[in-house]
Amino acid sequence: MSKTPQRIWITRAQPGAAATAARVRDMGHEAFVAPLLEVRNLPDPGLDLEGVGALAFTSTNGVRAFAELTDDRSLRVFAVGQATAQAAKAAGFKRVLSADGDVAALAEGIAVRRAELTGAVLHPGAAELAGDLAGVLKRNGIEARQAILYDTVAATLDPADLARLPDMDVALVYSPKAAQALAALLRAQPLPQLRVLCLSKAVLKPLVRTRVAAKVFSPFPLEAALLNLIDR
């Protein structure tokens, strides 16, 4: 396992990118933050909490978007992983349970606690979701609905950032939408030296036909598992 310092391109949107950069630097590597996506909260999403008994968050962005719309912190929270759970606790939620996995693990964690639910499960998230959590819950007989609170759009990298990309050793990619943006960028600016590390197999899929030094997906959809790939 190599411990040689590497230049790591962090492609995820802010503010998550800054937290990842700090972790990368703590590992002894150089962090270069150039997000491929921007998060934009919808101006009037019409959040409705009538009949809602619990919240299910699949991203820290969902937590932030929800917290900006309402001061209600009384609802129980199911979070996809530790980072999202920590964001929920930081936002003021007291009852938070982490699935430590992906959307499927989150759905399973909610399903096994169906007897504890006293209303619908609301999934506050993005316009384009990585997985249909509400649909999976409904198929398991659990009342659920989705609240679209924000969207992610492709970011435009400035010339100075683009000029630095040939020096990067690794790119960290967190979502299929970011992977699509990276694939488009690579068509215009090939980066044959780049190792692309993806949070999951689904994230890697849009990059299958790209030409880079390596494409690897994390064995678990957790940032800690993704970062462990850097030195392998």
Q: Are residues 145 and 59 in the same domain?
A: yes
pLDDT, one tens digit per residue, over 110-154 is 999 999 999 999 999 998 876 789 999 999 999 999 999 999 999
pTM attached to this predicted model: 0.82
Going along 68-135, which residue ranges are E strands?
Answer: 76-79, 96-98, 120-126
Residue 94 within a domain: yes
The C-alpha angle 47, 49, 55, rounded to 5 degrees, equals: 95
φ/ψ of 25, rounded to 5, equals -65, -35
> For the chain, how many structural domains are there in total?
2
Residue 118 lies in domain: 40-152
Question: How many Cα atoms are found within 13 Å in the side-chain-facing hemisphere of 191?
Answer: 23
pLDDT, one tens digit per residue, over 195-232 is 999 999 999 999 999 999 999 999 988 899 999 999 99
pLDDT, one tens digit per residue, over 58-103 is 989 999 999 999 999 999 999 998 889 999 999 999 999 999 888 8
pLDDT at site 128: 80
Report the CATH number that the domain containing residue 129 is assigned in CATH: 3.40.50.10090
